[in-house]
């Protein structure tokens, strides 16, 4: 009797749990489905019924309207790619180097230095943006990608996780034997330590890339020249008057900005989820 | 950790390899922070203005900002929107965590659900903001289409003229982008709890709900606090979504402190001193919450070990100095 009850309640629980999960799945996917379908429909079709699962045949028209009014996804893509690749390279390489300094060497200021890194882990760049902008203005780096790339050299979060990963996985004996073979410290870092850190670097690279690709605040204040706009800045154009009633074109524009990320996400989702589980990102 | 080989000291490489980090930190973080703080005490307005002076009453800008109606509204909005997003976010994340880590009721397709629930988090926030603007559009957005077609409403509803509706949509977008992330962090927290405890509970006949509230939640305390504070700090910086969704409107209903500061400093106003003061107020708030997190997350075991080592060293020294004394004791 009790067993039957338990089975029945477990059955009910399962139905509820799956129903809830499917509801959330719909919630996650629905906006994107609408976006994709409506990217192929014209304004009149969307006005009569904004929700439809049957694609229209206005993809070309929407494309032409979209491109004709300032939205330039190729420029945005190129600019975002330069910024994101540059800042990811700086972030991962120099964070690994800093972590190496913290793990492999015994120096006097090591502990205070690590404490400082931990302390500034959470302070976001946004709250110091006025001083940052003024400095960049003075040295003529407004409308340049450098202030979007170079600050990544000092990335406390990445240093912290690189250090956590390095402590158990970097045997000091290898460093010693390399030294006996006459390798310099810099060469040891580049040729022995970096290859060993590849898995951790890959995870951190994904997050660094996505964060950089998605950021709006800093590019928005630093970049004013239209040809230097990054992808998120391009997106903000879709809110403007130029596309006020061109619903289909707006959806198409959004779709174009999302495609590269969605492809990357579905290829790398396993690593991304693992990385999040390690606490690789904060929000 | 041996760092000496044949008497060579390698400690200088520790400094050498930290130079890039330190230099970048000084230029791009520390200097801007100090500069922002300084501007908060001056009468500086305009980009090219180097001719600014410290104010007679040093805290005038801070006082004015704290009295400023828009700043107060934006602070209230920021906190309100954060709370309205965080409560459902943590509740649903906890619920899903309980289901996905349950031993007695295995749920299939966990991997798929994780990937799908996390997906909104990786999409550019700017895109998400404008996508939702399109979804809730009046009179012909998809949400209105659903409301009217399903008979829930007779006519379209103009969401963007209603202050509360606009705020709730922003909160919902925040919830929608972050609950998957929170869930994955919590699941990994649960997987870090020793399975022995669960086994013992099972043997003692605890059911799923009891196990969750008596074992999972207490053991998850640190992770929960980490989630709470990182989310709060992120929430205090909320910019992309309120900025692009309705640019702070209607009637300042979705104006957050970041958007307020942006408008003051960068959208043609250049009121740097006030914006800097507002930034520093936010900086202090964030630093305060980070300090709490820093205190909670500190490595208690390491501190204990360090103390032991120090004590042992001291004792060894004392013993070496006055070894005779010990015999006399």
Instruction: Quote the tokens at residue B212.
Output: 């969750």
Nearest C-alpha of chain A: how many angstroms from B12? 7
Distance CA(B141)–CA(A54), nearest Å, equals 17
Task: Give the pLDDT of residue B7.
Answer: 53
Give the E-state strand segments of chain A in sequence order.
none
Task: Give the pLDDT of residue B262.
Answer: 93
Cβ distance of A17 and B99 shorter than 8 Å:
yes
Cβ distance of B272 and A134 shorter than 8 Å:
yes
Cβ distance of B181 and A283 shorter than 8 Å:
yes
Residue ranges per domain, chain B?
A: 62-299
Task: Give the pLDDT of residue B2.
Answer: 45
Cβ distance of A28 and B16 shorter than 8 Å:
no
| Contact residues, A window 153-182, toward B, CB-based 8 Å cutoff | 153-154, 159, 172, 176, 179-180
pLDDT digit string (tens) for B41-56? 988 887 666 778 888 8
Instruction: Quote the tokens at residue A83.
Output: 């910024």
Cβ distance of A278 and B276 shorter than 8 Å:
no
A265 lies within 8 A of chain B by CB: yes
Distance CA(A152)–CA(A125), nearest Å, equals 11
Query: Number of CB pairs < 8 Å for A and B?
Result: 303
Cβ distance of B185 and A29 shorter than 8 Å:
no
Cβ distance of B146 and A24 shorter than 8 Å:
no
Question: Of B163, B182, B10, which is closest to residue B91 (Cα–Cα)?
Answer: B182
pLDDT digit string (tens) for B150-177? 888 888 899 999 999 999 999 999 999 9
Would you tell me the crossing angle of helices B272-297 and B257-266 to the nearest 10 degrees? 150
Nearest C-alpha of chain B: how many angstroms from A200? 17
Contact list, B234 vs chain A (CB under 8 Å): 282-283
Cβ distance of B29 and A128 shorter than 8 Å:
yes
Determine the 3-state secondary structure of B54 from DSSP.
strand
Round to the nearest angstrom and report the end-to-end CA distance of chain B.
Answer: 36
pLDDT-flagged residues of chain B (< 50): 1-6, 324-329
Distance CA(B238)–CA(B218), nearest Å, equals 30
pLDDT digit string (tens) for A184-204? 899 999 999 999 999 899 989
Sign of CA dihedral B167, B172, B178, B179: positive
pLDDT per residue rounded down to tens, chain A (283 residues): 455 566 777 788 889 999 999 999 999 999 999 999 999 988 888 888 888 888 888 888 888 888 888 788 889 999 999 999 999 999 999 999 999 999 999 898 999 999 888 888 778 888 889 999 989 998 999 999 999 999 999 999 899 889 988 988 888 888 888 999 888 899 999 999 999 999 899 989 998 999 999 999 999 999 999 899 999 999 888 887 778 788 889 999 999 988 988 998 999 988 888 888 876 433 3
Do the Cβ atoms of A130 and B265 come closer than 8 Å? yes
Write down the mean pLDDT value for chain B. 87
Nearest C-alpha of chain A: how many angstroms from B298? 10
Cβ distance of B130 and A126 shorter than 8 Å:
no
Alpha helical stretches, state H, B101-162? 110-122, 125-135, 142-149
Write down the mean pLDDT value for chain A. 88
B159 lies within 8 A of chain A by CB: no
Nearest C-alpha of chain B: how many angstroms from A101? 4
- Render A66-114 in DSSP notation, one character per residue: HHHTT--HHHHHHHHHHHHHHHHHHHHHHHHHHHHHHHH---TTHHHHH
Distance CA(A128)–CA(A114), nearest Å, equals 22
Would you tell me the crossing angle of helices B257-266 and A129-138 to the nearest 10 degrees? 30
B269 lies within 8 A of chain A by CB: no
Task: State the fold for domain B62-299.
Answer: MetI-like fold (1.10.3720)
Q: Global pTM?
A: 0.88
């Amino acid at each position: 009797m009790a067993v039957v009850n338990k089975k029945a309640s477990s059955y009910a629980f399962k139905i509820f749990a799956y129903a809830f999960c499917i509801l959330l799945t719909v919630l996650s996917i629905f906006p994107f489905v609408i976006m994709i379908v409506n990217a192929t429909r014209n304004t009149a079709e969307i006005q009569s019924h904004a929700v439809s699962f049957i694609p229209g045949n206005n993809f070309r028209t929407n494309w032409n309207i979209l491109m004709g009014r300032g939205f330039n996804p190729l420029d945005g893509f190129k600019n975002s790619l330069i910024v994101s690749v540059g800042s990811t390279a700086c972030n991962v390489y120099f964070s690994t180097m800093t972590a190496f300094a913290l793990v492999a060497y015994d120096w006097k200021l090591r502990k205070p230095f690590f404490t400082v890194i931990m302390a500034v882990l959470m302070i976001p760049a946004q709250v110091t943006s006025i001083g940052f902008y003024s400095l960049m203005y003075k040295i003529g780096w407004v409308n340049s990608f450098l202030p979007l790339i170079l600050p990544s050299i000092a990335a406390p979060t990445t240093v912290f996780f690189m250090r956590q990963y390095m402590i158990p996985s970097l045997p000091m004996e290898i460093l010693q034997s390399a030294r006996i073979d006459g390798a310099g410290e810099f060469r040891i870092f580049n040729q022995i330590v970096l290859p060993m850190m590849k898995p951790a670097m890959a995870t951190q690279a994904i997050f660094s890339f996505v964060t950089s690709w998605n950021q709006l605040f800093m590019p928005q204040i630093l970049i004013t020249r239209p040809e230097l706009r990054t992808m998120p800045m391009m997106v903000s154009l879709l809110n403007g008057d130029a596309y006020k009633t061109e619903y289909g074109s707006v959806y198409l524009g959004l779709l174009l900005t999302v495609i590269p990320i969605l492809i990357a996400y579905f290829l790398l989702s396993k690593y991304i989820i693992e990385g999040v589980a390690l606490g690789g990102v904060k929000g | 950790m041996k760092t000496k080989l044949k008497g060579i000291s390698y400690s200088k490489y520790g400094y050498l390899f930290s130079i890039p980090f330190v230099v970048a930190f000084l230029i791009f973080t520390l200097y801007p922070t100090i500069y922002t703080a300084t501007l908060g005490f001056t009468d500086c307005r305009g980009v090219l203005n180097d001719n600014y002076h410290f104010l007679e009453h040093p805290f005038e800008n801070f006082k004015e900002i704290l009295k400023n109606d828009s700043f107060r509204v934006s602070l209230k909005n920021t906190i309100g929107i954060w709370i309205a997003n965080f409560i459902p976010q943590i509740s649903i994340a906890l619920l899903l965590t309980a289901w996905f880590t349950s031993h007695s009721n295995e749920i299939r397709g966990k991997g798929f659900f994780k990937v799908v629930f996390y997906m909104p988090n990786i999409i550019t926030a700017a895109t998400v903001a404008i996508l939702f603007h399109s979804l809730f559009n009046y009179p012909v957005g998809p949400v209105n289409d659903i409301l009217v077609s399903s008979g829930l409403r007779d006519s379209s509803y103009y969401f963007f003229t209603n202050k509360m509706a606009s705020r709730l949509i922003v909160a919902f977008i925040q919830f929608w982008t972050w609950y998957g992330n929170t869930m994955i962090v919590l699941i990994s927290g649960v997987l870090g709890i020793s399975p022995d405890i669960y086994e013992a509970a099972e043997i003692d006949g605890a059911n799923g709900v009891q196990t969750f509230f008596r074992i999972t939640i207490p053991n998850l305390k640190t992770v929960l606090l980490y989630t709470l504070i990182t989310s709060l700090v992120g929430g205090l910086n909320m910019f992309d979504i309120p900025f692009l969704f309705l640019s702070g409107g209607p009637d300042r209903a979705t104006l957050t402190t970041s958007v307020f500061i942006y408008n003051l400093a960068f959208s043609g106003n250049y009121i740097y001193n006030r914006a800097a003061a507002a930034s520093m107020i936010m900086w202090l708030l964030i630093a305060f919450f980070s300090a709490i997190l820093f205190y909670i997350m500190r490595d208690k075991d390491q501190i204990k070990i360090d103390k032991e080592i120090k004590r042992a060293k001291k004792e060894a020294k004392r013993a070496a100095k006055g070894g005779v004394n010990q015999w006399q004791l």
